[in-house]
Chain A
Amino acid sequence: MQVTSPAFKQNAARAMADVGLQKALGTAKGAFLTRRAAAVAALPEFERLRDVGRDIKNHALANLDFYLERYAAAVERAGGKVHWCSTAEDARAAILKICRDAGARTVTKGKSMISEEIAVNAHLESNGILPVETDLGEYIIQLRQEHPSHIIAPAFHLNREDWEAEFRRSHTDLPRDRVFAERRDIMQEARGKLRDRFLAADVGITGANFLIAETGSSVIVTNEGNGDLTQTLPRVHIALASIEKVVPTLEDATSLLRLLARSATGQDFSVYTTFSTGARREGELDGPEEYHVVLLDNGRSNMLGTEFGEMLRCIRCAACMNHCPVYGAVGGHAYGWVYPGPMGSVLTPALAGIERTANLPNASTFCGKCESVCPVKIPLPKMMRHWREREFERHLTPKAQRRNLALWRYVARRPALYRMATRAAVAALGLWGRGRGAVPTLPLAGGWTEGRDLPLPERSGAGGTFMAAYAKQRRQNGR
């Protein structure tokens, strides 16, 4: 997927002016927040479970090589095959080869953000294989030739009218008088169309929420059941997973599952949590005959041991973006790559390079809400700050900003000059805003005052600055 993060500011401005998007964001956001809060309130142990989740992932990551080897051995014992892939290119090639060996013409897909990361759909299409997204949200996104705007709700940015319009455009057999009065009608239409696809597919590709070293299982979590149809009906199942998904045991996965749905959709548990281990066993009446795991690194192993290593704990619940004021204002597409919101602002620079993505760690008010809701306690604001430091070190910060910072440093290191400058600034602001109660516009800071007024500086105390008030108080106390 093309990185458009360098255009974050333009993307964001466009998003803010998009009436349909703003309506969709308004509808969707409140629902997620209320449901999560209710689910968390109903489980007194939730806070302690966050510590448990953090510790499980830390343990798995500290021994990642060991658990990956144990996991791969267990998959192979169960008759599956593991394809180790360092890069997106390796993974695309591995998937294409499996599909070709299976003589595949169509491939159904469950929801997988990693498949977006490696852009496997375009690769299959250009090789004559038709990929069909089966998650409802992913399906409409594919029809509209867009990318998901949210990691668990891909069509977060769409309204009901958009669904109807797209179905009327692309389902060419649809009778003109077909009514889409309710959401149910839209869903029914998609269900009918996708049923045929499930039955015709030669290969099914799913993602994985967890991999389990103990049993060699891949775990998917869905509400629709599309993932299960995808991996049960075709002759070949490919689970596409990144290396940091591995946890040691069923108990470890279970503890994380208690956090996942509550943090994501505010459900106590997702409707379908499915553990897949190898291919169809002797005597079974259904299930795939081949089971493959495409195990992707794509830059993750290089995050270990750095200040961004903790990001690998992420279980992709989307609580951080659901609670983020910036995401809530601009939506997911503005971020310009696969992973939006706070987790994306940390992960995207690590996977796609800070050179092209320096805007992202700056797209934060540092309000800290993301860290406070993260089920595995990832210190997202701290890591965005680390990216800002790297951005500065590499001279990626815009010239004007660097010049201003240099100027501020010069003044700040000379206390007498600094006090003189702040006294002058306070006096000037007082004059500028006199009679208006606030400062409505400010030269050189027009962007800041465009959306709000700057309050007038405090006039109490001599001179109005902190140092002046401090000196006055000392005099009064006779010290």
Chain B
Amino acid sequence: MSKDTILNTIRRNLRRGPLPADQAAMLDGRLATHPRHLIPARSRLPRPEQVALFVRNLEKEFATVERVPEPAAVPAAVADYLAAQNLPSRFAMAPHEEMAAIPWENRPLLEVEKRRADPADSVGVQHGYAGIAETGTLMLPSAPGRPTTLNILPETEIVVLRATRVVGAYEEAWDLLRAENRDALTGGHMPRNVMLVTGPSRSADIEQTLELGAHGPRRLHVVLVDDDPAALPMADASPPPRTAEPGGRPAPGD
């Protein structure tokens, strides 16, 4: 049988038999504790700057972002975006409870359809599970309330994400999933599909030159709901006066 042939060849060439029980237990321990490796320092920032880094990286990858103060402001933001892009006001939306709780009726002209995406849809509105500041990446795990087709079929994808769900590094997003998600089939945390999305679809296959909108969405728009007071931009606050630290380098003007 192929399985035994492959495993036996591996063992023969590694010059050993199956791993002894104590070593296997050690490796099972490594699987269970899933240790982190070196994590780049770039996303280790105070909350306002971490969320700002997330936004900056999204824009660097050709996504657009609008920050709104509360869920009630989402329908207007979506309606205005669709109008500005000359897009239809009918869209498929993730049948997620948080999305359903948004007062869409405030904008009666929007035709909201809670379902998966179909090939004919030009706009899809998805529920964002987490944002990763390190590279401006959205984590979109599949669930009954978060169909995968919304991520890839429509030409325009809008993702509604709460600022409290923005983390620094990928590892923190995995830990959110581990803590919050329980897959009924496996008992583990991993859903059928987890997409990490960084910007709209693109290809450089023609002369190694980037073009947006290859097979997936041509536009990716993130509506970021500022539900995290600690993460608000500090634009309103005046910068603290510069003072020299004791024993530190002198501040300019000293």
Contact = CB atoms under 8 A, between A and B. Distances in A.
Interface stretch (B64-72, B81-89, B211-219, B223-231): B211-219
Contact of A62 (B14, B42, B61, B144): B14
B6 A297 contact: yes
Interface in B115-146: 115-116, 119, 135, 137, 142-144
Contact of B208 (A31, A68, A198): A31
Contact of A284 (B147, B151, B198, B215): B147
A101 interface: no
A249 B11 contact: no
A136 B205 contact: yes
Contacts of A134: 215
Residue of B1, B3, B143, B192 most packed against chain A (CB within 10 A): B192
B77 interface: no
Interface residues of chain B: helix, strand, loop or mixed (majority) = loop
Contacts of B195: 228, 272-275
A268 interface: yes
Nearest to A67: B27
A137 interface: yes
B184 interface: yes
A270 B196 CA distance: 9
B216 A224 contact: yes
Residue of B144, B153, B184, B193 most packed against chain A (CB within 10 A): B193
B7 interface: yes
Contacts of B102: none
B38 A52 contact: yes
Given A226-B215, A277-B190, A277-B191, A69 B7 contact: yes
A64 interface: yes
Interface string B196-207: 111111111111
Contacts of A86: 2, 5-6
A198 B27 CA distance: 41
A194 B213 CA distance: 13
B222 to A, nearest CB: 14
B137 A269 contact: yes
Nearest to B197: A272
A260 interface: no
Interface stretch (A202-210, A211-219, A367-375, A416-424): A211-219
A100 B198 CA distance: 36
Contacts of A191: 213-215
15 contacts: A44-B41, A64-B14, A66-B27, A77-B185, A78-B188, A156-B208, A194-B215, A224-B203, A251-B174, A276-B193, A278-B186, A285-B144, A286-B149, A301-B6, A302-B9
Given A277-B193, A284-B144, A285-B144, 6 more contacts: A68-B10, A74-B188, A134-B215, A184-B211, A229-B153, A305-B15
Interface of A: 24, 27-28, 31-32, 43-45, 48-49, 52, 56, 62-70, 72, 74, 77-79, 84-86, 90, 134-137, 140, 153-156, 158-160, 163, 183-184, 186-187, 191, 194-195, 198-199, 213-217, 223-226, 228-229, 232-233, 243, 248-252, 254-255, 257-258, 265, 267-287, 295, 297, 301-306
